């Protein structure tokens, strides 16, 4: 392993940067997988901790909603104090939070542990991209490295449910977190050895902007979730919290325009291609991650599959996403940027439409076809959107553009779970017909979620339990149809908007700029 200590410019350095890429992609994979690894574990987790519907959404969602606002904050702090230090610190936070999450005794403890996982993920994720840009100075090699990084980021969301299914099937729900600990114990000494020191930049850092972005997004998410339930603070107060979140984000945006060195370069959104690409990333991930959670519950609690069986059913989505990532660049060259981006979104919407006709019966072949369309369409649209974002931004603002793209990715994951989860529960709860002799407290628990209803049905057993579970399955399928319909409408509107807002001339200009970047 002596070659790892090679000097810059020599053969040792040449070998070293690819080892650095492998380590950074491994780090990114941990962060990306954790956004979706719990989806398959929801029934087992609900049976063990008995969270309310709001608590369950926060358990799943707190990770992405903490990562999203902190990405820009930690990205700028890494530039100021050293990215290597933030990767190493992120490993420690991520590992300790994983340990706490694995053995969390209550829903609140798990929510807090997931939030700290988000802090660790936000420390790691932006630093990985910045270090890649640092160690790959050759443009062609950098394009390859960034392509690998993007594939890992998108593929992690698809791998999560598969990994979760295997772990829950053979161990218990906490294993989806505990597995991070030994992996990080291996990665930490490698990171100390491999990651290069980074030059610190002495530029101002605005703590108020960081506070406004984090508080605004969290208030937005909390208000949205509570507005659907009203259990904790009531619907009226939830609307006020939501409005406060909007106000904080408006304040944040106005402040960025006034600062000489903003945390987030909001002026980039004045470029039509850039804004279109960011919206595409956000809504593509919104649909993928939000629906992945609902479909994972459908497979287990409606069709009755085991966690591993449900994960196996989702393998076509993962394979299609990988194939989409590998073929998207060729599609871009053949059919153009606008057609690739809008076509990927439209394909995803069309692949979801058969779900609207399903009931509680199994459709294994059509399910596989749907997952193939979703995985391929989302990945193709994401790559086209990423190219649009980076090609629309000047070279001097590439770092800010990348930070915005990462934020859109995590925000899309968080909002997808928040919005589609809230819609699902709003439709499910009133549609559930509980047996008249069911105790009021059990009836209230069953209306929280399908997983909670399955838990109650198991406890009461007999014909009453079977009747409750059958009614809950029908109610959930109706709620799933509502969530799918919202996603289909969002995707189709975005596909049409891309075709309209990104004219052929603009798309050709962006594509030409991207080819020039790679060719230099």
Based on the fold, state whether residues 417 and 508 are members of the same structural domain.
yes
Residue 251's pLDDT is: 92
Based on the fold, state whether residues 239 and 324 are members of the same structural domain.
no
Q: Cβ distance 313 to 299 under 8 Å?
A: yes
The span from the CA of 143 to the CA of 519, in Å, is 10
Q: What is the per-residue burial (b if ≥16 Cβ within 10 Å, else e) of 62-84? A: bbbbbbbbbbbbbbbbbbeebbb
The range of the structural domain enclosing residue 258 comes to: 206-262
Q: Cβ distance 150 to 325 under 8 Å?
A: yes
Q: What's the rounded mean pLDDT across residues 204-227? A: 78
Residue 10's pLDDT is: 39
Based on the fold, state whether residues 236 and 327 are members of the same structural domain.
no
Residue 426's pLDDT is: 81
Q: Cβ distance 46 to 449 under 8 Å?
A: yes
Q: Cβ distance 446 to 453 under 8 Å?
A: yes
pLDDT tens sequence across 395-429:
556 666 766 777 787 777 777 777 787 788 788 88
Residue 180 tokens, joined: 């991070």
Q: Cβ distance 251 to 377 under 8 Å?
A: no
| Helix and strand counts by DSSP (H, E) for the chain | 20, 0
pLDDT tens sequence across 309-337:
777 787 788 788 778 777 777 787 777 77
Residue 520's pLDDT is: 45
Based on the fold, state whether residues 97 and 222 are members of the same structural domain.
no
Q: What's the rounded mean pLDDT across residues 43-61? A: 77
Based on the fold, state whether residues 441 and 465 are members of the same structural domain.
yes
The span from the CA of 274 to the CA of 184, in Å, is 35
Q: What is the DSSP string of 399-436?
A: HHHHHHHHHHHHHHHHHHHHHHHHHHHHHHHHH----T
Q: When comparing pLDDT for 270 and 94, which is higher? A: 94
Based on the fold, state whether residues 278 and 331 are members of the same structural domain.
yes
Based on the fold, state whether residues 8 and 139 are members of the same structural domain.
yes
pLDDT at 462 over 90: no
Based on the fold, state whether residues 255 and 275 are members of the same structural domain.
no
Residue 51's pLDDT is: 81
pLDDT tens sequence across 149-166:
766 765 666 666 667 777
Based on the fold, state whether residues 273 and 220 are members of the same structural domain.
no
What percent of the chain is predicted at pLDDT more than 90? 3
pLDDT at 294 over 50: yes
Strands (E), 42-154: none
Based on the fold, state whether residues 241 and 291 are members of the same structural domain.
no
Residue 96's pLDDT is: 92
Q: What's the rounded mean pLDDT across residues 229-257? A: 80
Residue that finishes a domain, picked among 225, 247, 262: 262
Q: What's the start-to-end Cα distance of the chain, in Å?
A: 33
Residue 509's pLDDT is: 54
The span from the CA of 426 to the CA of 449, in Å, is 10
What DSSP state is assigned to residue 266?
G
Decide: helix, strand or coil at residue 264: coil
What percent of the chain is predicted at pLDDT more than 70? 80
Average pLDDT taken over every residue of the chain:
76
Residue that finishes a domain, picked among 154, 185, 202: 202
Q: What's the rounded mean pLDDT across residues 443-452? A: 76
CA separation, residue 59 to residues 32, 34, 110, 229, 299 (Å):
16, 12, 6, 16, 20
Based on the fold, state whether residues 161 and 216 are members of the same structural domain.
no
What is the number of domains present in the chain?
A: 3
Based on the fold, state whether residues 96 and 142 are members of the same structural domain.
yes
Q: How many residues are recorded in the chain?
A: 520
The confidence band for 247, taking pLDDT boundaries of 50, 70 and 90, is very high
CATH at residue 158: 1.20.1250.20
pLDDT tens sequence across 76-119:
777 667 777 888 888 899 889 989 988 988 888 999 998 898 88
Q: Give the number of other Cβ atoms within 10 Å of residue 436's Cβ.
A: 7
């Amino acid at each position: 392993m002596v070659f790892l200590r090679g000097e810059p410019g020599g053969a040792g350095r040449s070998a070293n940067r690819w080892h650095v890429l492998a380590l950074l992609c491994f780090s990114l994979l941990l962060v990306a997988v954790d956004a979706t690894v719990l989806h398959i574990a929801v029934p087992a987790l609900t049976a063990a901790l008995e969270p309310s519907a709001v608590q369950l959404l926060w358990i799943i969602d707190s990770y992405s909603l903490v990562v999203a606002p902190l990405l820009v904050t930690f990205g700028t702090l890494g530039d100021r104090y050293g990215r290597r230090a933030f990767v190493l610190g992120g490993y420690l936070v991520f590992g300790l939070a994983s340990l706490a999450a694995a053995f969390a005794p209550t829903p609140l403890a798990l929510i807090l542990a997931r939030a700290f996982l988000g802090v660790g993920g936000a420390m790691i994720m932006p630093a990985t991209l910045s270090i890649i840009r640092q160690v790959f100075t050759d443009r062609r090699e950098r394009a390859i490295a960034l392509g690998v990084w993007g594939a890992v980021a998108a593929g992690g969301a698809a791998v999560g449910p598969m990994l979760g299914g295997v772990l829950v099937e053979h161990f218990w729900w906490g294993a989806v977190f505990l597995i991070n600990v030994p992996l990080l114990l291996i990665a930490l000494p490698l990171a100390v050895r491999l990651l290069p020191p980074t030059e610190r930049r002495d530029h101002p850092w605005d703590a108020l902007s960081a506070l406004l972005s984090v508080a605004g997004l969290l208030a937005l998410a909390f208000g949205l979730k509570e507005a659907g339930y009203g259990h904790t603070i009531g619907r009226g107060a939830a609307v006020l919290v939501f409005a406060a979140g909007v106000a904080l984000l408006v304040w944040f945006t106005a402040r960025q325009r006034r600062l000489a060195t903003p945390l987030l370069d909001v002026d980039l959104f004045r470029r039509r291609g850039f804004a279109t690409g960011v919206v595409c990333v956000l809504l593509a991930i919104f649909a993928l991650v939000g629906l992945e959670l609902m479909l994972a519950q459908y497979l287990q609690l409606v069709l009755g599959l085991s966690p591993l069986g449900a994960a196996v059913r989702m393998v076509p989505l993962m394979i299609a996403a990988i194939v989409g990532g590998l073929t998207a660049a060729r599609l871009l060259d053949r059919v153009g940027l606008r057609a690739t981006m809008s076509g990927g979104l439209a394909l995803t919407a069309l692949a979801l439409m058969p779900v609207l006709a399903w009931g509680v019966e199994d459709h294994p072949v059509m399910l596989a076809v749907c997952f193939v369309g979703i995985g391929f369409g989302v990945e193709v649209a994401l790559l086209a959107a990423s190219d649009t974002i980076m090609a629309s931004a000047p070279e001097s603002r590439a770092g800010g553009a990348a930070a915005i793209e990462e934020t859109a990715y995590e925000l899309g994951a968080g909002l997808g779970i928040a919005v589609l989860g809230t819609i699902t529960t709003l439709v499910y709860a009133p549609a559930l017909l509980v047996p008249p002799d069911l105790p009021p407290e059990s009836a209230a628990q069953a209306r929280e979620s399908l997983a909670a209803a399955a838990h109650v049905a198991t406890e009461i057993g007999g014909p009453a339990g079977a009747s409750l579970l059958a009614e809950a399955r029908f109610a959930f399928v109706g709620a799933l149809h509502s969530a799918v319909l919202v996603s289909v409408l969002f995707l189709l509107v975005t596909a049409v908007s891309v075709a309209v807002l990104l004219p052929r001339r603009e798309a050709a200009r962006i594509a030409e700029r991207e080819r020039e970047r790679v060719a230099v």
